[in-house]
Structure 1
Amino acid sequence: MNRDKFAQELKTLREQHGLSQEELATLLANSHRAFEGVNQVTLSKWERNESTTSLLRRLGIANYFGQEYEFDAKEMEVITPSMRLSEIPVNQDISYHYAIDNVASYSMESIPKSLWDDILAIHNKLYGLDFLRFYQADHLNIDDIIILAYYCKGMIVGHIVYDDKTDMLLSVGSISLSIRKQVLEYLANEMMKKSLVIPVQDPAMTQFLYDLYLTPKRALFGLFLFKVDSVSLINNPFYQQQPEKNGQIFKYLRYYSQKVKKKSIEFIL
C-alpha cells in the first residue's frame, strides 16, 4: 500500500475481507482512537479518492490489514523524527527466526539461580528498573510470583514474570519482537487469564494502549498500570501488528504527532 494507490487498495482489501464500508468504519473506530469519527461516508470518500486522509490513518489501515506500507520521500521526512523515539532496547530485534517449543514454570523457590539472574539482567537491560523493588513497594507477596521461561531447541528465548494472586504482569523479556508476540499470545490463550495488570514504562506504548481504549488505573515509579482484558487486547488487529516494522512506525508516529499537539498521554493523564 502507498499514498498513490491508497484509494483502490483500501477498497480491494475491504472487499477481500467481506466487509461493507460501514462495517469497516465501525471496526476501525472501535479499535483505535486515531479513527474516532470515521464513518461510512468518510470511507466512501477515501475509496473514491474524493478526500485524502492523513499518513497516520493510511499507515493505520495498512497495519489493520497486515499490509506493508511503502513510504515516499515526503512521508519519510514525516516519520523520521518519530522513529528516533523508538530506539530503545525493548524495540530492538535480531535477524534469526525462533519459535517457542517448550514452556517451563517456576516459583521463586524452585527457579535455578542462574536462570533467575539471567531474567533479572535482561529485565534491567530492557527497562532499567528493578521490578522486585516495584513489586515490594506495592506490598505484594513474593511467594505469589510465577516465572515462565520460554525455550526454542533448549535455549531460553523469552520469559514472563507475574503475580498469580493479583494477575499483575511484572516482566516480559524476549530475544526478538516475534518471540515477544508469541509470549504474549501464550499468556492470553494458554493461561486463560481474563485480565492482567500491566505496568508500562515507554510513553509511546502507554499512548498506544490508551488509543486502544484502555485507561491506566494509577502510576508507580513512573510506570502506568493498565488493567486489560488479555484476550481482547491480543485480538485487536492493531495490537497484533504492533511488533511488525510498520506497526512500530504507526505507534511512534501517533505518539509523536499527539505530543507535538500537546495531546499525548503526558498531557491527558
Structure 2
Amino acid sequence: MNRDNFPTELKRLREERNLSQEDMATLLANSHRVFDGVNQVTISKWERGDTKTSLLRRLGISSYLSIQYEYDAKELDTLSPSIKLSDIPVNQDISYSYSIDSVDCYTTKSIPSESWNDILAIHSKLYSLDFMTFYNADHLSVDDIVILVFYCKGLMVGHILYDDRTNMLLSIGSISLSIRKQVLQYMAESITKKSFIIPVHDPAMAQFLYDLYLEPKRSMFGLFLFTVEPQLLATNPFYQNLSENGDQSFKYFRYYSQKSKKKSIEFLL
C-alpha cells in the first residue's frame, strides 16, 4: 500500500476481508480516535479517490490491516522526526529467536537473589526507573508482589511483576520483542485478572492507549497510569498488529503530531 494506490488497495483489502464500507468504517471508528467520525460515506470517497486521506490515516489503515506501507521520499521526510522518538531500549531487539517453554511463580521471599537482581537490572535498563521506588511511593507491601519468570531451556528470558492486592502491574521484561509478545500473550490468556493498573513509561505508548479509548487515571514520576483489561485490549486490531509485526510508525507519528499541536497525552493530565 502506498499514497498512489491507496484507493484501489483499500477497496481490494476491504473486500478480501468480506467487509462492507459501513462495517470497515465502524470498526475503524470504534478502535482508534484517529478514525473518530469516519463513516460509510468517508470510506466510499477514499476508495473512489474523491477525498485524499492524510498520511496519518493511511498509516493507521495499513496498521489496522497489518499491511506494509511503502513511503515515498516526501512521506519519509514528514515521518523522520517521529521515527527518532522510537529509538528507546524497549523497542530494541536481538538476533536470536527464543520460545518460552516454562513459567515459574515466585514471591519476593522465594525468588533466587540472582534472578531478582537480573529483573531489577533489566527493568532499569528498559525504563530508566527503579520500579520499587514507584511501588513504595504508593505505600504498598512487597508481600503482595507476584513474580512470574519465563524460561527457554532453563534460561530466564522474561518476567512479569504485579501486586496481587491492587492489580498494579509493576514490570514487564524480555530479552527480545518476540519474547515480549509471548509474555503479553501469556498475561492476556493465563492471568485471571479482569483488569490491571498499568504504569506506562513511553509517552507515545500512553498516547496509543488513550487513542484506543482508554482513559489515564493519573500520572506519577512521569508515568501514565491506565486501568486496562488485558483480554479486551488484546482484541483491538491496532494493538494486535502492533504486537505482531512490531511496526511503531503509526504510533509514534500520531504521538509526534499530537505533541506538535500540544494535544498529546502530557497535555491531558
Q: TM-score, normalised by structure 1?
A: 0.97
- 3-state DSSP class of the match of 1:157? strand
**1:161 aligned residue:** 161
Aligned residue number for residue 240 of structure 1: 240
**CA separation in 2, counterparts of 1:151 and 1:74?**
45
In structure 2, list runs of 5 or more residues that go unmatched. Answer: none
Number of residues paired by the alignment? Answer: 269
Q: Is the 8 A contact 1:102 1:151 kept in 2?
A: yes
Which residue of the partner structure matches residue 185 of structure 1?
185
AA matched with 1:53: T
Q: What CA distance in whole angstroms lies between the structure 2 residues aligned with 1:203 and 1:214?
A: 14
Q: What's the RMSD between the two structures over aligned residues?
A: 1.2
Aligned-pair CA distance for 1:40: 0.4
Could you say if the C-alpha distance between residues 262 and 255 of structure 1 is closer, same or farther in structure 2, counting changes exceeding 3 Å?
same
Q: Does 1:50 align with 2:50?
A: yes
8 Å CA contact retained: 2:167, 2:197: yes
Change in CA separation of 1:138 and 1:180 when aligned onto 2, cut-off 3 Å: same
Quote the Cα distance in structure 2 between the aligned partners of 1:246 and 1:120.
Answer: 25
Gaps spanning 5+ residues in structure 1: where?
none
How far apart are the structure 1 equivalents of 2:128 and 2:122? 9
Give the deviation of 1:244 after TM superposition: 5.7
Between the aligned partners of 2:20 and 2:159, the Cα distance in structure 1 is 41
The answer for the alignment partner of 1:250 in structure 2 is 250
Distance 1:241 1:259 in 2: 23
Deviations 1:180-236 (A, max 9, x none): 121111101111321010001211111111101111111221211100111111111
Per the TM alignment, residue 119 of structure 1 is displaced from its structure 2 partner at its CA by 0.4
Give the aligned partner of residue 229 of structure 1.
229
Whole-Å separation in 1 of the counterparts to 2:192 and 2:14: 32
Q: How many Å apart are 1:268 and its aligned residue?
A: 2.1
Rate the CA distance shift 1:246–1:108 in 2: closer, same or farther, 3 A: closer
How many angstroms does 1:156 deviate by? 1.5
Deviation per CA, 1:148-183: give whole Å up to 9, x if none. Answer: 111122222111111111111100111112221211
In structure 2, what is the Cα distance between the partners aligned to 1:95 and 1:267?
Answer: 38
Taking only the aligned residue pairs, the percentage that are identical comes to 67
- Amino acid paired to 2:103: V
Say whether 1:22 aligns with 2:22: yes
Superposed CA offset, 1:226-267 (max 9, x none): 001111111111111224666311110000011111111122
